[in-house]
Amino acid sequence: MLNVLHYPFIQNALFAGTFVAVVAAIAGYFLIARGLTFAGHALPNIGFAGAAGAVLLGVDPVFGLFAFTICAAVGIALLGREIRERDITIGILMTFALGLGLMFLSLYSGYAERVYSILFGTILGISQLDVLVMAVVSLLVIATICALFRPLLFSSFDPEVAQARGVPVRMLAVVFLALVAITVSVAVQIVGALLVFVLLVGPAATAMRIVQRPLWIILIAVALGVGYTWLGIVLAAVNGSWPVSFYIATIAFVIYLPVRLLSPLWIGRGTRRNIGGGPENRANETEHVTAARRDNDVSTLPA
């Protein structure tokens, strides 16, 4: 099985997949903490519509991908304040974008191979240039999130108090979703729109069921995401009949399910409620805010 690691295209896939998994796990934690998992699902689909529009205009699909995802991210951040209002906004934007994408494809007379590849990715067929681009974008996104880590964490769990203390909550929301949009735009070209959502939510959701402290959650999510990706790529290379996305999604589910069922044994009854991004997530915020303040001293942020 390990013999496949000697092939250059497998090495490229492992490097690119590692960068995608790391940045997706970090961004995924904040997506879940902010109740934005629906946005993590919507942005890749909106990007697909943008790529279809770019093909219709005769330009590189990447430009349409970036334009649609970033505009949608800014729109979600500005139009949706409350969770219910935000989900409605995301749903409307996604359905409108998908409708546009179908119209663009119906108007296009050729075969939009690059557009369809965005749905499923071409992780086993990427070049060294793709790896380099993914590495640069991932490092920039990670560096930005690290620079904004304390106020971003504070505003994720206690936005009212953060705003009262002078933290630019709305601006942080716009910047964060723009970073997610950039990550999605680059990642879907490699791993596909379907797999991006798995890497955004799966590792972070599992890690949040294992530990409570934010830094440990992120570290475990990164380790899980990289492990899922590497194992999925190797299994797909050995058994070429099934795609990488199937293996990674299956591994993520198989690991999450027992952790989800057994987590009350070590984190108490308070975590029986869903830690996912919904109104029920508020019941667990006190524990996470306390842990966040221990790790990052967010309570001492300047007003």
pLDDT at residue number 289:
52
Domain that holds residue 292: 2-300
Q: Looking at residue 110, what is its pLDDT?
A: 65
More confident residue, 187 or 69: 69
The pLDDT of residue 278 is above 50 = no
Q: Residue 221 is part of a domain; what is its CATH number? A: 1.10.3470.10
More confident residue, 247 or 127: 247
Going by C-beta distance under 8 Å and a sequence separation of 6 or more, which residues neighbour residue 173?
A: 34, 77, 155
Taking CA atoms, 146 is separated from 2, 169, 249, 264, in Å, by 35, 16, 27, 31
5-19, 82-96, 111-125 — which is least confidently predicted?
111-125
Say how far apart CA 257 and CA 273 lie, in whole Å: 15
- Is the pLDDT reported for residue 264 higher than 50? yes
pLDDT of residue 298: 47
Question: Does residue 268 carry a pLDDT above 50?
Answer: yes
CA distance 102 to 116: 12
Q: Any idea what DSSP says for residue 276?
A: S
- The confidence score (pLDDT) of residue 22 equals 93
Q: How far is CA 235 from CA 176, 192, 248, 256, in A?
A: 34, 18, 9, 19
**Tens-place pLDDT, residues 29-83:** 999 988 888 888 888 888 888 888 888 888 877 788 888 899 888 888 887 666 6
Domains identified in the chain, total number: 1
On average, the pLDDT of the chain sits at 80
Is pLDDT larger for residue 141 or for residue 246?
A: 141
